[in-house]
Amino acid sequence: MPSPLCVLLIVLFSACSARAAEFRLATFSVDVTIPMGHPCMGGGISPAQSVVDPLFAKGFVLTGAEKPFVLIVFDWCEIRGTSYEKWQQALAQAAGTEPQRVLVTTTHVHDAPVMDEDAEKLLRDMAATGAWKNIPPPDPAAAIQYASVCQPEFNDACIPRVVTAVRESLGQTRRVTHFGTGRAKVEKIASNRRFVTRAGAVSYGRFSRSSDPEVQAADEGTIDPWLRTLSFWDGDQPVCALHSYAVHPMSSYGAGKVSADFPGAARAQMQREHPDVFQIYSTGCAGNVTAGKYNTGAPENRPVLAGRMHDAMERSWTSTQRAPLTGAGFKHVLMPLGARATSEHTEEILRKRLASGVGPYERAEAAMGLAWYERVKRGHHIAVPAIEFDRTHVLMLLPAEAYVEYQLFAQECRPDSFVMVLGYGECGPGYIPIDRAFRENDINLKDWAWTPPGSEAVMRAAIREVLK
């Protein structure tokens, strides 16, 4: 399997900045709410039991460059492996472009699905062997027999609906003459999982919700405090606004109440207040950033966090500065992230957990890890794409649950540019921590983390190259 040293083998594809007489933008939105009983968070929490608010796939197609660009953001937890590739290929065909120019990401809400048909196949194949016949199934009310990550059939049903919406949107495009950028500091939402206790010890135990006074009192830690907004304009008329902020988007969650959570509520409020501007929200690199300092997990916290998010969106929008859009270029690198082989995360151990894990989620989590191991063995590399507007403004996508330090590093690579970094691209690797997290025994890396120590060098090299 590839090692971090394979960073020297990064493959680079680039396109010179394309100039065109006219750019045009198509926007689309499709309801992709999961059915009742569908697993949430890859089977790690209660499956869908009710719908608080619908889940959407929202995006745009920008034409006028050498080939169209597509961005789509799902109110889902994650999309991985073959499921991810299906979306790229289908949307590329619909928009008349190449799969690498289709940026697919998720907001990472947890009362929502992880789409990983490779992992689900491993589970179903294992169930067919009868290996789990002596393992008691979970509570029948959970509507999951033995273990399940997702329902690939639902993913496959969503694809043609979204494809149809994309094709229809291309018949109703708007001219784009300018792009805009803005940003605003977000107050009292994000905090790093890592904090220092009163006793001076390093802890990684600040999760998405907490009522522990010590957790709440600790400093926010390393975060990106800025919400950024990239917008497209026809003259002085705004057409579309994309907002991004780096935080796990969870307030009250885990009981199967399907929801886009507080960022979805903030986005919806922006849409009501600016009905002529298509609103999109995407989560930045938030693998180690949560709302845990400011969120107890009580239901009443959701509107509070949503209000703070909306306030930042509005201030970012108000601060927008426009510039003529005369060129758009594309570049991406192929990044050889390897597979983890530390003592408790070998392929052999994961296969044992898949075959004989005590709980359904232990088996489901092992299947997700094994799906990544198998892709790495086949030589899979993850793409890191970036769209550059007029050589001064960049929209880039990083994979999986990348730690926020990668987002901050990307901005450092282009200090004189506006750099908007989206996280949660292809999510097969799980957490992508910085090396310090391994050294300090980050407790979040006991599961959902399948890249090896040393991956920080690979990530940084890829980011540096694509932003060069």
Asked whether the predicted pLDDT for residue 140 surpasses 70, the reply is no
State the average pLDDT over residues 436-444: 96
Question: Pick from 406, 419, 440, 385: which is nearest to 289 by CA?
Answer: 406
CA distance 70 to 98: 10
Phi/psi for 347 (5° steps) reads: -60, -40
Write the pLDDT tens digit of every residue in 319-335. 999 999 999 999 999 99
Asked if residues 10 and 333 have their Cβ atoms less than 8 Å apart, the reply is: yes
Conformation bin of residue 24: beta by default, left when phi > 0, alpha when psi is -120 to 50: beta
Task: State the residue for tokens 């135990």.
Answer: 205
Asked if residues 354 and 263 have their Cβ atoms less than 8 Å apart, the reply is: no
- Length of the chain in residues, anyone? 468
**Residue boundaries of the structural domains of the chain:** 4-466
In 247-404 the beta strands, taken as DSSP E runs, fall at: 257-258, 278-283, 289-290, 321-324, 328-335, 382-389, 393-397, 401-402
CA distance 438 to 69: 36
Identify any residues that bridge with 72 across adjacent strands, giving them in sequence order: 59, 104
Alpha helices by DSSP H, 336-359: 347-356
Asked if residues 183 and 226 have their Cβ atoms less than 8 Å apart, the reply is: yes
Asked whether the predicted pLDDT for residue 269 surpasses 70, the reply is yes
Alpha helices by DSSP H, 192-299: 213-217, 261-273
At residue 249, the pLDDT reads 98
Mean pLDDT of the chain: 93
CA distance 143 to 461: 44
> Tokens in use for 433?
């921590």
Check residue 287 and report its DSSP letter: T
Write the pLDDT tens digit of every residue in 185-228. 999 999 999 999 999 999 999 999 999 999 999 999 999 999 99
At residue 145, the pLDDT reads 55
| Residue bearing the bigger pLDDT, 7 or 321 | 321
Give the pTM: 0.94
Identify any residues that bridge with 257 across adjacent strands, giving them in sequence order: 50
Question: Taken in order 208, 263, 74, 63, is the CA torsion positive or negative?
Answer: negative
Question: Pick from 353, 417, 440: which is nearest to 181 by CA?
Answer: 417
Which secondary structure element, helix H or strand E, spans residue 35, and what is its range? none
Per-residue confidence band for 136, with pLDDT thresholds at 50, 70 and 90: low
CA distance 81 to 66: 28
